[in-house]
Homo-oligomer: A and B are copies of this chain.
Amino acid sequence: MEFNFANRISYLTASEIREILKITEQREIISFAGGLPAPELFPVEEIKKVSQIVLEEEGTKVLQYSTTEGYLPLREWIADRMNSRLGTKLLPDHIILTHGSQQGLDLSGKVFLDEGDIVLCESPTYLAAISAFKAYGCRFLEVPTDDDGMLPDELEYILENTPRVKMIYVIPDFQNPTGRTWSLDRRKKLVDLAMKHKVMVIEDNPYGELRFEGETLPSFQSFDQTGCVVFLGTFSKIFCPGYRIGWVAGDPRVIEKYAIVKQATDLQCNTLAQREIAKFLEMYNIEDHIDKIREVYRKRRDLTVHTMESEFPAGVTFTRPQGGLFSWVELPAQVNARDVLERSLERNVAFVPGGPFFPNGSNENTLRINFSNMPEDRIVIGLHSLAEVLREFI
């Protein structure tokens, strides 16, 4: 039969990244494509201990249904850590656990977006946020953005002249895909504008803990006096993504709606995963673990930037992020990164073309390089091959 799908299905296409990742799974490829953590850093032995203890102590409870908001001790830990790192003043009631921060995005769309609403975003922005929000029929307006974040004058002009702006979506630290970090001043200005115009801010911060140098900056939420900032966090980048545990932090009147919506969506997060993470945080020092991750990724970032500097042809520019997982590459205007990818896959090297990170298209001469997932020798070999391919185009 001809299926009569919902209209939203026509806005959603299979993610290009996912298709590229499928190729990288099929054969021995050097991949700068995904946003995958380095698996060799997962604390497997510790998790083995933790899982036994959790099952011994409360086996029946950790396998049963539990509350939609999530395990209280874990929400307490999250509130405490955010308050001490990011200048927020959160209580556990301000937190709901989600199925990774991707679900934080989906629930944000579900709670706030009606068809035809406008979401303001950085240019470029995280492509899976585009699909999460598009499922609710919104349109995107890209706010001109430089290395310090959105340009405040441009943002203000848009807010003053555009009806139906419902939400501003930002990734403050080591942005996906550019690796850029918002300056302190721009953070304050954005929140001031959002409060004034009564627009919600979705502050998506999966990478903030992975800072290699410089100082941690306060979160947008720390400047919020009206409840307009919703913060999304995750254990995927500082612990293990396979657990699918993230969180949303916000005004309790907002979090209450997220809980109602999450209940209708999937009832709750995996009980065992919540308990195992909480037990890990109780038994081990996550700071040491994060330090280890930071150290490895910092080296890979250095090597990536250094190799691109010495091997990429003139006319190619790229960011040198202070943390996170990604560097952003701009090719000369006439070069299409999709063509480069095709040639590069022939040499068993993958990356993600930058076009899809622009919700309204354009900028096909850009690409994203992930440096967290490949060991150092493969980074060098892979970038060497990519440089050769680039020289064929430039």
Contacts and interface: CB of A to CB of B under 8 A. Distances in A.
A282 interface: no
Interface string A119-140: 0000000001001101110000
A102 B99 CA distance: 14
Nearest to A2: B198
A42 interface: yes
A314 interface: no
Given A39-B61, A114-B6, A270-B243, A106 B44 contact: no
Interface in A283-303: none
A151 interface: no
A234 B319 CA distance: 46
A36 B113 CA distance: 33
Interface in A1-30: 1-9, 12-15, 18
Interface stretch (A203-211, A253-261, A360-368, A376-384): A253-261
A102 B267 contact: yes
Contacts of A132: 264-265
A5 B51 CA distance: 39
Interface of A: 1-9, 12-15, 18, 34, 36-37, 39-40, 42, 44, 47-48, 51-52, 55-56, 59-66, 68, 98-100, 102-103, 106, 110-115, 128, 131-132, 134-136, 166, 195, 198, 200, 226-228, 236, 240-244, 251, 253-254, 256-257, 259-261, 263-273
A105 B118 CA distance: 28
Q: Oligomeric state, in number of copies?
A: 2
A36 B64 CA distance: 8
Contacts of A42: 59-60, 63-64
Nearest to A239: B63
A355 to B, nearest CB: 18
A136 B98 CA distance: 20
Given A18-B68, A40-B60, A266 B110 contact: no
Nearest to A134: B264
Contacts of A135: 110, 261, 264-265
The winner among A1, A66, A134, A166 for most chain B CB atoms within 10 A is: A1
Contacts of A51: 48, 51-52, 55
A132 B39 CA distance: 36
Contacts of A112: 4-6
B166 A243 contact: no
B39 A260 contact: no
Contacts of A265: 102-103, 106, 132, 135, 265
Q: Which of A15, A63, A228 has the most CB of B within 10 A?
A: A63
A135 B8 CA distance: 14
A99 B62 CA distance: 16
A270 B267 contact: no
Nearest to A226: B1
Nearest to A195: B1
Contacts of A1: 195, 198, 226-228
